Amino acid sequence: MAHRAFTTHPLVVRRVTVRRIEEVTPRMRRVVVGGPGLAEAVVDGHPQPAFTSPGFDDHIKLILAPGADIDSALPAQLEHGIEWTPSETRVTRDYTPRRVDLEHGEIDLDFVRHGDGPAARWADRARVGDELAFVGPKSSLRFPQDVEWILLVADETGLPAVGRFLDERPLDAPAHIVLLVEDDSARQSLALRDGDTVSWHVASAGDPGPLEAAVRAVRIPDGAGYAWAAAESRALLPVRRYLQREAGLPKDRLNITGYWHAAPAEADGAGEPVAAAPEIASPVPWLVTRAAVQLGLVDALADGPAPGDVLAARMGIPAPTLAGLLPVLAEHGVVVDADGFLALGPVGEGLLDDHEREEFTGFEADLALSLVQLASALHEGVPAWRRHTGQTVAEAAETEVEIARELVEHGGRLAYLSDGLIPELADLSSALLIGPGSAAIVHALEDAGRSDIALSVLDRGALRDVLHGAVEGPGSIAWMPRESDVAILSFALDHRTGTESAHILSEAARYAPRAILIESTRPDTLGGGAGEAHAAHLARTGSPYRGAESLARIAETAGWRSSRSIELGWGVEALLLERR
C-alpha cells in the first residue's frame, strides 16, 4: 500500500471555555481552553468521540461570530461529520494546539499579538470563562518511516507547531530549526536535544528574502530527510523552490504550508476595510497569464531576471510578440521591468507554486475555458466541455492522465468524509470500486482495519492507472471487475452526463446486488464560490448539481432502488441502493 501522508479524524463541533491566560512572550499570548466539550459527548443529538490531536502541526478551525450569537455561525453536526451551512456571521481561523492534555481536558492555543484580525482580537479580549467553538483537527501528518533528520522552518505563526514537535518528538531524529521573528522579544525557550541546531533571525515575516537566506544557510545533512515549513505564503515560495530544485528533496519529503497571507486591505480614512463594489472582471488578464505560464515565461524567470529579447528566445517566440503581452502582465503583477530586465512580480512568484498554477493550466482552468461554449451547449443539451473539446469528461478521463489525476486528487476529499461509510461495510467480504474517490476508500478501509475486504476496480484506461498508482495496490485489489457484495461508486457520476451515469450504474448492477452511491449533491459553502461551483458542474456534466432525489431517479433507470441516504458532510451524500 502507498505511504499515507496523513491520518483523518472525525469532525466534531466542540465548545470549550477559557481556563487560563498566559503571556508567553510580549508577542505571544497563550489561551488555555478546556471542558467537557473535549470528552465524548452528544452533539445535536449525535454521539461523538472525544477530541484527539496526535500531530504536532494539527489544525483546529476556530469559529467566531464577531458581534453576533455564536450559534448563528456554527456548522450543523451530522452523525458522521459536519455540514457547513450558510452563515453571514461566521469567521474561521486555523490554529495549532501548542499543548494537548486530555487527562485534564484542556489544550493550549498560542496567538501571535500582531495585526488586528478577528482571532487576535478575540485572544486580546479573552477572559476566564469565555466560550470558544471549534472543529477539527481533520487530519494529522504521517512521516515516512526512514526519516534520519528533519528541517523545521517557521515564522512566529508556526512557532507553536515547532515547540510542540520538540516537546513531543514524533521523530527520533535530529531537528535543524530555522525561526524568523519580527522582534528579539519573540524568542522562546525550546526543548532541544543533542544533535539539534537552531538559528533565530529577526526580519519582517512577509519578506521572502530573509527566510530564504536563512534556510540556504543550513547545511542539508546526508541521508533520508524531511522538511516542514510554516510561514507567510509568499515568503515560502523561494524556500519551496530551493528545497525542491537545489536541495533535491522529493515532494513526499516536503510539507510546506502558508499559514497566512500578507495582503494589505484597502481602508477608508478611519482605517476600516472598504468593501469593493461587485464587478464582472475582464477575462483578458486571466487568458494572458494562462498564455504566459503555458509559454514558459514564469519558469524562465524562476532563476532570476532576464532581458526581454533573451527571454523571448528561451520561449521560442519573437521579441515583439512578447512585448505585446507585457503591459497586461505588468499591470497585474505577473512581471516587473527593472532597468530593461524582466523579473517575476508577486503574482508571478505565486505561479511557481503548483497549486496556484492550476488555476490557469489545470483541469479547472480548462473547464472554465469550456464555458465559452455554454450558450451553444445549453441549446444542444450537451455539456459545455463536450461542445468545447469534442468529448465528455468521462471519455477524456480514460485517455488523458492529467485529467484523470485531477479527478482522483479532487476525489481525495472523501478521506475526510468516510466515517459514515465504514459501518455500512461491516458484513462485507468483497467490494467493487468505481470512481475517482476509490483511492480514498481503499485508505479508509485500511485505517479501519478492513484490509480483509477483497477489492476490485471497474474504472478503465488512464483513470484506472492513476488510481493504481495512488494505492500501489497489490494485495487483494484486482484491477478488473469481479462479482462483489457491494459496488462503491465514489464521485463516479460527478464527471459523467446523465446518460453516462445511468450506464455506469447499469454496469455496477452486473457485479453487485447492493451499491453505495457517493456524490456531491450541493456545493460546500465554507470557502464561498458556490455559484462558480454550480457553473463548473453544469459545464462538466450538462446538468446542475443532482440532489438525492435526482440521483435516485437515475439509479432507478439503471435497475436500482434507493433505500436511504447518509449525509457525510461538505455537501456530500451517500445513497444506499439495492438491485431490483
For residue 183, the model assigns a pLDDT of 92
Residue 397 has pLDDT above 80, yes or no: yes
Fold of 392-579: Rossmann fold (3.40.50)
Domain covering 284-361: architecture: Orthogonal Bundle (1.10)
Average pLDDT over all residues of the chain? 89
Rounded to whole angstroms, what are the CA distances from 28 to 23, 31, 183, 339, 347?
6, 10, 11, 42, 31
Rounded to whole angstroms, what are the CA distances from 449 to 52, 412, 422, 425, 426?
19, 19, 10, 12, 11
Residue 271 has pLDDT above 70, yes or no: no
The CATH class for the domain spanning 143-260 reads: alpha beta
All three cell numbers of 18 = 477559557
Which one-letter amino acid corresponds to residue 560? W
User: Alpha-carbon dihedral of residues 169, 449, 438, 485, nearest 10 degrees?
Assistant: 180
Which one-letter amino acid corresponds to residue 503? H
Residue 528 has pLDDT above 70, yes or no: no
CATH for 6-140? Answer: 2.40.30.10
pLDDT (tens digit, 9 = 90+) per residue, 29-55? Answer: 999 999 999 999 899 889 999 999 999
Return the H-helix or E-strand segment holding 411: helix 401-411
Distance in Å from the first CA to the final CA of the chain: 36
Residue 485 has pLDDT above 90, yes or no: yes
> What average pLDDT does the segment 312-332 reach?
90
Residue 260 CA neighbour count, 13 Å, CB half: 23
Cα–Cα distance for residue pair 244/304, rounded to 1 Å: 17
Cα–Cα distance for residue pair 440/412, rounded to 1 Å: 5
Residue 267 has pLDDT above 50, yes or no: no
Q: How many helices (H) and strands (E) would you count in the chain?
A: 20, 28
For residue 274, the model assigns a pLDDT of 39
Its sign, for the CA torsion 10, 13, 19, 22, is positive
Could you tell me which of 196, 158, 152, 154 has the C-alpha nearest to residue 174?
A: 196
What are the domain boundaries of the chain?
Answer: 6-140, 143-260, 284-361, 392-579
pTM: 0.84
Cβ-contact 165, 274 below 8 angstroms: no
Same topology, domains 143-260 and 392-579? Answer is yes
> What average pLDDT does the segment 309-315 reach?
88
pLDDT (tens digit, 9 = 90+) per residue, 178-220? Answer: 999 999 999 999 999 999 999 999 998 878 889 999 999 999 9
Phi, then psi, of 468 in degrees rounded to 5 = -60, -45
